[in-house]
Chains A and B, each alone.
Chain A
Amino acid sequence: MPTDTADPRYDYALRPPRLPQPVDESLASAPIDLDVRLEMYRKLHLLRQWSKRAHDLFLQNLVKGTTHLSLGQEAVAAAFSSAMRPDDYTFATYRGHAHSLSRGMDPGEALAELLGRKNGVLGGKGGSMHLTDVTRGMMGSYAIIGAHLCIANGAAWSAQMRGTGQVAVCFFGDGTTNIGAFHEALNMAKIWNLPVVFVCENNLYMEYTPIDLVTAVPRPAADRAPAYGLEPIVVDGNDPDAVYLVAREAIERARRGEGPSLIEAQTYRHGGHSRADPGKYRPQSEVEAWKARDPIPMYHDRLLKLGTPEATLTGIERQVAEVVDAATEFAKNGPEPGLEDLLVNVWADGGAEWRN
């Protein structure tokens, strides 16, 4: 393979950019309560500021291992969580910080987990890719592509059997649409009419490779939906209002017993796949165009246009900054787990013994 030849087959940054759609200004008049909108705005800022702090702590060598940030993709988690009931279930991937925080996971416990501290939400045993808080319906972050769609089905099946009206919402990336478990899960969800909403965050790249180069159809999730008797649903994943409307409809459908949905939210990550990736395989003009469609300033402007005082928004931003600062101190001050934690919680009896 040539390495010094300008050829878009080998240097994806030379491919034509894939540009975002323009903002749908009519969404300003969508029937969404102002309280909900302000809550989504708060979440957008929390997810953004928390993730930037996680990145800063990585640069300080306090976050080890790997992290996968959702910078740029926050609107999907912020909007979906706002459309969910407190007892609904969330299933996320290794890129699950946004989905965890948006369900109410304590920002300090989440950050402490990234730092490998005993006061982390998983006691330091899970790490960045496995954030879980079942007390808030955050049923886990799953780091191997595909499995959690099948697991989300099981939680939805449980809700269906118990008649609780709970819905499982399962987030994943565009790359997941090419693994077998995706297809097994959609088929089972449909034949069992499960209350589950599958949400594909299509950020155009499966790790380092443009998704269209490795996928048989242009829209990796939506174009597969009809094969499982589902409607193809595509939404602007960078507009919280657009996502909220689609989320509310799909979740309520599921709650009414009308079965699963598959939603493709088109979005973009501002950074690379993981902390090791500068994301140089993307055309610069594409990155710039998507950064200009950053959900946060767009939503800030929309809320202003809707008559929200600037002071209200800056107040939310300041309050989030305080939360993130406090979370940072909580995480940094946490002790490291030790031998007393190592052999704990393999089994339900709390221990790790496998023999007598």
Chain B
Amino acid sequence: MAELSYREAVAYGIAQEMRRDPRLVMLGEDIAAAGGVFKTTVGLLEEFGPDRVRDTPISEQAIIGAAMGAAMTGIPVIAELMFSDFIAVTWDMIANEIAKTRYMTNGQVTLPLVIRTANGGGVRFGAQHSQSVENWCMMIPGLKVVAPATPTDVVGLMAASVRDPDPVIFFEHKALMATSEEIPDGEIVDTLGTARIRREGTDLTIAALAAMVPRALEAAEMLAADGISAEVIDVRSLVPLDTRTILQSVAKTGRFYTVEENPRVLGWGAELVSIVSHEAFWDLDGPCVRITTPHIPLPAASSLEDLAIPSVQKIYETVKRTIGGAP
């Protein structure tokens, strides 16, 4: 057992896979000599050398294009985009090329690549360096989308993503970087497409992702003090999506909430609510409720950003207000 922070877990997970597969390479801006701007790739250059851990120019299209070209010729690749907001700079490569090539070529091309990127708010970087953009990727057929909430999950889901033959967008949350936990010894390999019940409960189900998971858990403790038993599910993987775990939970609790950091419109929670409303309609005792950031660009000021992103208090109050049926 070793105590690892979320940021250390990224390098730990990558190193585990680079030791296992000598073909695996990575590239990105400032990832080698500098160890990454979030210090998530510290030590990789020293262990694996400059041929396998490559610094690149600020050229997001060239980075992701190179990852795709290498992957389609059989080299597994991890590419880093420094901030997930920069996905927009190379969206053609991700949405039009990487996501569609296997289907368009009727299976001729396989793309074993992972795009890692620092996602989410809470660190006062303003509207262009704080977005939660996992929904952008979720809505494109052909991309797998993963967003771990704990250091152990970072390692295990990194391994699962690297070993998956399909392209995976791997969202590392900036606000979780300093969190830490004991992680198990030995190789850690998780499974994509599996949600995890972080807290069992009987009165309502809360589905949360990444930085919203610890907030939902804290809110659940507050609700417990009021005699309300919340089950908290860490969705972990948006594509593939583990609806079975969620539907089973709703069958037990009869109430469904989502906690989403993304701006409101078309967040992943909307898809989950749609599924629950359709497939678990007769299990529900009340309307599904989404707790999200308002549909605004994220502000920079601490006070404003804290008001925007769902807080523990907001989750608690929303559940308290609505669990009796109030809108």
Which A positions have Cβ atoms within 8 angstroms of B?
Answer: 89, 122-123, 125-126, 130, 132-134, 139-140, 142, 144, 146-159, 161-162, 168, 180-181, 184-185, 187-188, 191, 344-348, 350, 352-356
Contact = CB atoms under 8 A, between A and B. Distances in A.
Given A139-B109, A157-B69, 17 more contacts: A132-B109, A133-B108, A146-B92, A147-B96, A150-B65, A154-B65, A154-B67, A154-B68, A181-B65, A184-B62, A187-B57, A344-B107, A346-B103, A353-B240, A355-B240, A355-B243, A356-B243
A185 B93 CA distance: 13
A344 B108 CA distance: 12
Interface in B46-69: 51, 56-57, 59, 61-62, 64-69
A180 B166 contact: no
Nearest to B194: A356
A122 B103 CA distance: 9
Interface residues of B, number: 47
Nearest to A89: B73
A122 B105 contact: yes
Given A147-B65, A355-B240, A154 B92 contact: no
B57 A134 contact: no
Contacts of A156: 69
Contacts of A191: 57
A159 B164 CA distance: 22
B72 A185 contact: no
Contacts of B110: 348
A355 B240 CA distance: 5
A180 B241 contact: no
Given A122-B105, A123-B106, A356-B243, A181 B61 contact: yes
Contact of A126 (B57, B66, B106): B106
Contacts of B109: 132, 134, 139-140
A130 B104 contact: yes
Contacts of A140: 101, 105, 109
B142 interface: yes
12 contacts: A122-B105, A125-B103, A139-B72, A147-B93, A151-B68, A154-B68, A157-B69, A157-B70, A181-B61, A181-B65, A346-B103, A353-B240
B10 interface: no
B326 to A, nearest CB: 31
A96 B107 CA distance: 19
Contact of B97 (A151, A157, A185, A354): A151
A120 to B, nearest CB: 8
